[in-house]
Amino acid sequence: MPAFVDRLQAGGRYTFTREEALAALGISRVALTHAAGRLIAKRRLAAPRRGFYVIVPLEYRELGAPPPSWYIHGLMAHQGHPYYVGLLSAAALHGAAHQQPQVFQVMTDVPLRPIRVGRSAIRFFIRRELAAVPTIALKTYTGTMRVSTPEATAFDLVRYADRAGHLDHVATVLAELAERIDPERLVAIAAGEVELPVVQRLGYLLELVDAAAIATPLATWVAGAGARPVALASGVQAAGAPRDKRWQILVNDVVEIDEL
């Protein structure tokens, strides 16, 4: 087993499945489990999910595993689910890294339990219409992984604001992410599958962070989409709140942006 792991790493591979190891070594499942367990105890391997193993190089031995970007694509293929890296993790990968996210956030189509691998934590979120979300294949140390585009990331941050540190943090991240957002692509996504209230809230927040040039085409689209007044913050009383006429937003919360 140690020699098998060394050969894979020497060839640039850092993940393997139980079935691959069984075929290569010609041993029983019980023997493989025991052999893998010994290497896990030595921090030579990590096992994010049953039957899927991550090789831990020496420089990551103290952390217990390499970063999730090294193995997320292989892990999701092993589990048989589509995915993309999203929310704060995607924003950081696009350069909006005011605060590095403590959890690696992944969108998929079914409920999946969170994973802790060494000192890394991976959390999964269900995303309807997953296949319709624009993504890019971002190069990693071990291959590639699917990541939402800057525009899709912006919409997701607003849609899942409670998972992204709420509106204050979302606005702070958008202030940095705005540099990567293409206004035409933003409108194209809005016209596709995004809920209108999410579009309105994003437009309002973009203007709030001095990205009006990016938000203007979106405002034109919203004006023709029959937008109705919607609260900026969900779950907060909106009665009597002032209304932003451009976005039809009931401003029922004060959004404070961190200094960049």
Spell out the domains of the chain, with CATH numbers in brackets: 2-60 (1.10.10), 68-250 (no CATH)
What pTM value is reported for the model?
Answer: 0.92
Strands (E), the chain: 15-17, 45-49, 52-55, 83-85, 104-108, 115-117, 120-126, 135-139, 144-148, 230-231, 243-244, 249-250
Distance of CA 99 to the CA centre of its chain: 15
Bridge partner list, 116:
121
Q: In this structure, what token pair is assigned to residue 28?
A: 């029983």
CA-CA-CA-CA torsion sign (76, 78, 79, 81):
positive
What percent of the chain stands above pLDDT 90? 88
Question: Across-strand partners of 17?
Answer: 52
∠ CA 172-174-180, rounded to 5°? 140
pLDDT at res. 169: 92
Mean local confidence (pLDDT), 34-38: 97
User: What strand order describes the sheet that includes 230-231?
Assistant: 230-231, 249-250, 243-244
Read off the amino acid at residue 189: I
Neighbours of 110 (CB within 10 A): 11
Residue 237: pLDDT band by 50, 70, 90 thresholds? confident
Average pLDDT over residues 220-231: 93
- pLDDT above 60: residue 204: yes
* 232 contacts 248 by C-beta, under 8 angstroms: no
Whether residue 260 has pLDDT greater than 60: no
Q: Which of 97-101, 123-127, 249-253 has the lowest mean pLDDT?
A: 97-101
Q: What pLDDT does residue 229 have? A: 94
Task: Identify whether the C-beta of residue 218 lies closer than 8 Å to the C-beta of residue 190.
Answer: yes
Q: Is the pLDDT of residue 238 over 90?
A: no
